[in-house]
Structure 1
């Protein structure tokens, strides 16, 4: 709290019959940041049953700040007869005019609780001759009945070391070993770059042929033959593991016929298709139909894929 405040406290009386209601009211007045001020805490004896606090305020916003008062009422009911003292309330705030912290304190509230002559009618028996410490102990020796499923477990029936536990451990271990073997195999295959490129040659070529078909449908002849040549050369380079720098027609022919045992006629058919595409790319008047070249490339790659 920041501002200038005054604090007063008063009880509704100093004598009550047991099981009757009473209250303590704190009134905080002055000028300051009232909206941020929280209710002071009040400590009641264990024999008192405390209810929800009530708050009332009358505030006005002025040039100096929020001015008015805020009232806190703490209702209670005393259950046991005897003499009690409710400690005074402390409230601290900062006064900007003096630059100091101040603490306000109310006097203690002495209260005497008398015997309840009509406790039979109220149905609430009064506890006589019981101290505060005894009441605190009474509040802890009786427990509420547990509601709902207690989740009882038979002794000796725990999951640990059971058949289900051993089966779970075996399954997890087998899954771990299988995953480890798969990852090691995958790492070895990825490390063999030539093998990876050879296995993916067909997929890469078909992806390039798909782009070439898109150029064909759009009527872009030059782009079509350029993409078709990239698909044919790229397929042979990946499939035969030949670097781009060494990828020539003579090298491809020697690799197919000499080392792979391919029919020379099919090998030359593939090379002739490459020559026609190169000629059509730079000489649009050559008259090479795009659909014929596309189908021939698709057919030749399919035949080579089955034999290499």
Structure 2
């Protein structure tokens, strides 16, 4: 037994000595850190000279402490600044311990020039620490493109993935990247909720042709109504894109359809391999003159990979052995998404009129290269029977400009409206002809004229007369003409000479039935329709009650607001009873409990934390006047006075307070909580 007590005492003594030693070490460490930490702020750029399309990291290091906020410095015109984040470090050299915190910023230039950034200021422990400005030189690039940077960014490792077939190189020059304008498209100006400082657009060169648009019309000269294709190509190299929108093109003087589904390709341009997205659509000129196709605008988001500043990496990985290692460098990289708008320059198109020389008399504006085929459904018909002439026009060109070919019918045929159907390279007309006499020998010649823009010549296609045989209708046949409500004879029925006798085998149809005055239809009964509303009313009532019950269970604020008025009525009733008994101190207790509980329920405030500062902010939120706040303040003050100096309160003042509390509750009930 004594051995156990001795062993326990020995253990406790060892534990006490360990705690004393540990505490002493901690205090010694802290004092050593404080002794070696001289507070000062230093700022440096990782590079002092960069190109326009590059970015650079600025590091602001505060020596001597770690819980220091980021320094303040003024905005610099022509630079966008993005805060990356802090990093901390504890250094021990020859048993001397120091600590520091580094705040890193990413600087992105909008224009070339020399920029002075700073001075830098930071408040710590009641003292102001400063650092002088730093200078950054931005060198412009050598190409003739414009670059503008958007106002907002976000992080997302997304890009444009294209793996398709190869195609030939495609022409004109690269187009500028312009700043995103929310009014022109549906791209969010703040994709993932991160903000960048506002940028200023400038005309500066862009070194590489990584993203650009090329607009290529197939013709620079066209005739009125001539349909020709245009191609818009998006070139992308070593850059990710996402949320690519359909192009928007200015096309005054032209009619055009919608852009076709884009095709993905890989192509080579000027010896450089690109991923391309090809948009195509057909346009046609409306009238003669000189017009422009474009400019073309396209919204999208560009995904850039941004390396984290090297200062944030541990010193072990910043050695020369690991600086160029792809694995370790990729660990400190992130992606940023910029909304941009690409632009393709306009192209001039000359729209020519149709030449007057050699224009056929039956030319109606058909434009293209066509062939004509004519068929009839029967070559032997009776007088009065219809014959259908089918005319098929096929070829390439603007099918909307094709009108029905001309048939010199004369007075020997009765005609009806021509019916037509159109496909992409085919248009079919159907003409119904009804011969009036048996003397007709053929269907007259059919001609169709069009203008070929490739050869710049008029062409007339002719179908020679088609022989037909007309058979006279037998004399005993009688033609009964049935006329439609439009007044056009569209159907002919043969009827026999003998009249049909009715009434022997078929009962005559009765047009009128005797009316039963006593019979009242159900749908004319108003009571019937009123009873149909009862289930709907019952359902709506049930739904309202159920929804209100569920909201009371789930929404604490709503539930407290619902019961605030009813509880205040009970409290006021009880206060009135106490006041009638002239129990003034107790009356003020009831009034205080009532107003405190009501305001807590009304504004969803916990009990015991209701102060005039909190109530003032709540009253401002619901746009209540200052008079109400003064009334609440007066009521609470009188309640405090009655609690601590009951001899100073009077019966008349209690009546006035009671009325003010009622008025406060009435005014607040008019506002939705």
Shorter-chain TM-score tier: 0.3 to 0.5
TM-score, normalisation: structure 1: 0.41
Higher relative contact order (CA 8 A, sep 6+): 1
Structure label with greater radius of gyration: 1
Q: In proportion to residue count, which structure has more strand?
A: 2
TM norm structure 2: 0.20
